[in-house]
Chain A
Amino acid sequence: MNENNVELLAPAGNIEKAKAAIDFGANAIYLGAKKYSLRARASNFGQDEIKEIVEYAKQRNVKVYVAANIICHNGDMHDAKKYFQMLKECGVDSLIIADPFLIEVANGIGMEIHISTQQSITNSKAAQFWASHGATRVVTAREVTGQELQKMIKNYPDVEYEYFIHGAVCIAYSGRCTMSNHFSNRDSNRGGCAQSCRWMYNADGPYERFTMSAKDSSLHNEIWDLMKNGVKSFKIEGRMKSLHYVATVVSAYRKIINSIGDEMAVKESEKELLKAANRETDTNFYHSVPGHETQFYGEINDKQPMQDFIFITDGTYDDEMLEVTVKNNFKIGQSIELFGPQIKNSIDTVTEIRDSDMKSVVVANKPMSKMFIKIKTKIKGNAIGRKL
Chain B
Amino acid sequence: MKIATYPLSVAHAKALSEKGVLLLVGQNDYATRIPKTFSDSELNEIIDLNLDIEIVLNKIFHEYELESLKTYLLKLHNSGVKRIRFSDLAVLVISEENDLKFEFNYDPETLVTSWGQINFWEKNGIETVSVARELYKSELKEIVENIGNIKLNIQVHGQQFVMQSRRGLVTNYANNFGYKIDPKTPFSICEESRVSGNTLIEDECGTTNMFTSYDLIAAKHYDVLKNFDYWTINNVFKSIEWTNAVVDMYMKLPDLSEDEYFELKKLSKESAEGYLDPSINPYERK
Contacts and interface: CB of A to CB of B under 8 A. Distances in A.
Centre residue among B114, B198, B212 by max chain A CB count within 10 A? B114
Contacts of B65: 123
Given A123-B66, A176-B108, A291-B172, A210 B134 contact: no
B62 A204 contact: no
B117 A72 contact: yes
B22 interface: no
B192 A100 contact: no
Interface string A87-130: 00000000000011101100000000000000010111110111
A204 to B, nearest CB: 4
Interface residues of A, number: 66
A129 B165 contact: no
Interface in A164-196: 171-173, 175-179, 181-183, 185, 187, 189, 196
A190 B134 CA distance: 12
Contacts of A103: 120
A175 B179 CA distance: 31
Contact of B117 (A101, A149, A171, A207): A101
A302 to B, nearest CB: 19
B176 A295 contact: yes
B192 A202 contact: yes
A204 B176 contact: no
Contacts of A291: 168, 172, 175
Interface in A134-155: 141, 143-145, 148-149, 151-152, 155
Contacts of B64: 148, 151
B177 A208 contact: yes
A73 interface: yes
Nearest to A183: B283
Given A203-B188, A207-B177, A295-B176, A290 B167 contact: yes
22 contacts: A72-B114, A73-B139, A74-B114, A76-B114, A99-B114, A100-B116, A101-B114, A101-B119, A126-B93, A144-B63, A148-B62, A171-B167, A176-B111, A178-B132, A179-B210, A183-B283, A185-B278, A207-B179, A285-B166, A289-B166, A292-B172, A297-B176
In the A-B complex, the 10 residue pairs with the closest CB atoms: A101-B116, A125-B90, A204-B188, A292-B172, A177-B163, A100-B120, A292-B176, A172-B163, A201-B189, A143-B166
Interface of B: 60-66, 88-90, 92-94, 108-111, 113-117, 119-121, 132-135, 139, 142-143, 146, 160-169, 171-173, 175-177, 179, 187-192, 194, 197-198, 206, 210, 212, 278, 281, 283
Interface of A: 71-74, 76-77, 99-101, 103-104, 120, 122-126, 128-130, 141, 143-145, 148-149, 151-152, 155, 171-173, 175-179, 181-183, 185, 187, 189, 196-197, 199-204, 207-212, 214, 285, 289-292, 294-295, 297
